[in-house]
Structure 1
Amino acid sequence: SGKFPLIAKIIKANENLSVQVHPDDAYAAKIGDAFGKEEAWFVLESKKAKIFLGFKTEESERKFREAVESGEILSHLNEYEAKKGDIFHIPAGTIHALGGGTKVYEVSSASERTFRIYDYGRGRELHIDDAINVLNFKKSSELRKESVLLRKVGRSEEYLLIEGEKFVLRKLKIHDTMEFKEPVCLLTCISGNIRVRTAAGDISLREGETAVVPANTKFEVQCESGEGREGEEKGSEVLLAIFKNAEVRTWN
């Protein structure tokens, strides 16, 4: 389609955000979009906030419509108390909402198509019929995920957070240097400072900043966070979002 395949955002929800759902690729194609939308959230901050994700029990269209009309839809959803470091996977078709008091890193496939279901009476347009066409009404599986250690290099570590359909999300704890060669990916520094080194040049990232690494590029991630207490290096944390099934082309 010519679009970059991933979107990364930092979302700070000062109030409850709308209950919504995103389409899969098949429905997106029917309405003229290039991609459906799969997402993941990594919680950066939480003030005893809630995240709502997936149905508690299998729903019917009738029960769903009644819950939306009565304003009781949240009581039908799984409710999580969000904690810093929590990881949530949101496949296309999954009903979800961020509660006020959360700050999350969000990565998704390259679509901004959202079907709004409930908006706390704010008066914005709702998309109930489209939502019904794409919602997974089954009882949700566990969508809060646990990290898995993949490797250690010196004092640095790499963890798998999400293995999705469209992307892989990993977390790096960098105390020295780690080397990589991946398909198209996004690097987002979430604490400390890092330097990303490639054959083409270097770039420094501070907390909240993101860099794009082209496909098939060898790169290093180096900690630049200085020293902490008693001379110990503070270390940096990085989220690495990797696009799956990237097509790599070369020209002579």
Structure 2
Amino acid sequence: MTEIKVQPKFRPLVWGNWKINELFNVQSELPIGEVWLLSGHQLYETTMENGKTINEYGTSIYDGKYPKFPLLIKLVSTNQWLSVQVHPDDAFARQIEHEPWGKSEAWYFLEDGEFAICEDVETMKELIAQDRLSQLKDILTFVKVKKGTFVYIPAGTVHALGPNSTVIEVQQTSDLTYRIYDWGRPREVHLNKALQVSRQVRISDIVFEHINCLKTPYFTMQILDKSNRDDTISNLKESKLHISIPTELSANFSASVIEAEEGESTQELSRFLKEDFPSILVYNFI
């Protein structure tokens, strides 16, 4: 079983957080909002310590089954509300955008934070039709969450990540985003496409506290901790490829690819358990 670290890419954004610049000692005109920890997307393709890009590595694993690595993992940190936005599903992405995937994603909050979703999509559509978009904030559901909370954002969920929130974001490999409302900031919105893909989602269906494993149709996120070692090892038997991400920020924060060799026991994963803090393992994505 081998572990190969992935070299992160840094994305400055107007809503980013200067603490990420300080943590990684990165100089930029705008604060860093996203650290692309593992990506086969053309915008920021990441490279492994062995010199291979994640797409070059992936091709040897899934034998051409996918056009690029199917998983994208980021560290996201904010200083203000992100736009209210929505992502398309696979069918819309392929038919309209000519992209292989839509974007379903999940967050793991590294610190206390907040977000919002629109649980009343029909009223949202009425506001847009009546040119009353500024009132959208009045029908959003705002949620404060604790460190260690999982939130699953399936494609079609109208959502916004809140200020002073730092999350590990695991998603399908897609950067398709349709902006609906930007809190009075004069940025482009994409209302026509947003209306086509938005769907009803309830807070109770997407927020998960006090759990060690989040299973989605596209990937699984598992806390790897000494306290749940036996359960974790049992769950991992179904996958030979895992991505490991720490749950504590540090200057050397990065993702690692962990690959099991043929016939190798998943018990070997126990040596990747950290003494001082848990990690997140992501698997079941190929």
Per the normalisation by structure 1, the TM-score is 0.72
Q: 1:224 to 1:92 in 2, by over 3 A?
A: closer
1:88 is aligned to 151
Residue 259 (structure 2) pairs with residue 210 (structure 1): no
Residue 114 (structure 2) pairs with residue 50 (structure 1): yes
After TM superposition, give the deviation of residue 241 of structure 1 in Å: 1.3
1:118 is aligned to 181
CA distance, structure 2, for counterparts of residue 13 and residue 50 of structure 1: 11
Residue 216 (structure 2) pairs with residue 164 (structure 1): yes
Residue 89 (structure 2) pairs with residue 40 (structure 1): no
Residue 78 (structure 2) pairs with residue 29 (structure 1): no
Identity of aligned residues (%): 29
Conserved 8 A contact 2:110-2:248: no
Conserved 8 A contact 2:84-2:160: yes
CA distance, structure 2, for counterparts of residue 67 and residue 139 of structure 1: 24
2:281 is aligned to 240
CA distance, structure 1, for counterparts of residue 86 and residue 159 of structure 2: 6
Q: 1:240 to 1:21 in 2, by over 3 A?
A: same
Residue 256 (structure 2) pairs with residue 191 (structure 1): no
CA distance, structure 1, for counterparts of residue 85 and residue 124 of structure 2: 16
CA distance, structure 2, for counterparts of residue 115 and residue 27 of structure 1: 12
Conserved 8 A contact 2:111-2:166: yes
The count of residues paired between Structure 1 and Structure 2 equals 211
Conserved 8 A contact 1:191-1:207: no
Conserved 8 A contact 1:189-1:208: yes
1:51 alignment partner AA: F
1:235 alignment partner AA: D
2:39 is aligned to none
1:73 is aligned to 136
Structure 2 counterparts to residues 123-138 of structure 1, below 5 A? 123-137=186-200
Q: Which runs of 5+ in 2 are unaligned?
A: 1-65
Conserved 8 A contact 2:148-2:209: no
1:242 alignment partner AA: Y
- Deviations along 1:221-245, one digit per CA (max 9) or x if unpaired, are 43686xxxxxxxx53211111134x
Q: CA RMSD in A?
A: 2.9
1:21 alignment partner AA: V
1:250 is aligned to none
CA distance, structure 2, for counterparts of residue 207 and residue 175 of structure 1: 24
* Partner SS for 1:122: coil
CA distance, structure 2, for counterparts of residue 163 and residue 96 of structure 1: 20
CA distance, structure 1, for counterparts of residue 131 and residue 283 of structure 2: 36
* Partner SS for 1:100: coil
After TM superposition, give the deviation of residue 117 of structure 1 in Å: 0.9
Conserved 8 A contact 2:115-2:142: yes
1:153 is aligned to none
CA distance, structure 1, for counterparts of residue 260 and residue 173 of structure 2: 17
After TM superposition, give the deviation of residue 58 of structure 1 in Å: 5.2
CA distance, structure 1, for counterparts of residue 131 and residue 78 of structure 2: 22
Conserved 8 A contact 1:175-1:223: no
Conserved 8 A contact 1:189-1:207: no
After TM superposition, give the deviation of residue 121 of structure 1 in Å: 2.6
After TM superposition, give the deviation of residue 67 of structure 1 in Å: 8.2
1:220 alignment partner AA: L
Per the normalisation by structure 2, the TM-score is 0.65
CA distance, structure 1, for counterparts of residue 74 and residue 199 of structure 2: 25
Give the counterpart of 1:142 among 175, 197, 205.
205
CA distance, structure 2, for counterparts of residue 87 and residue 113 of structure 1: 22
Greater strand share, 1 or 2? 1
Q: Which runs of 5+ in 1 are unaligned?
A: 149-158, 194-205, 226-233, 247-252
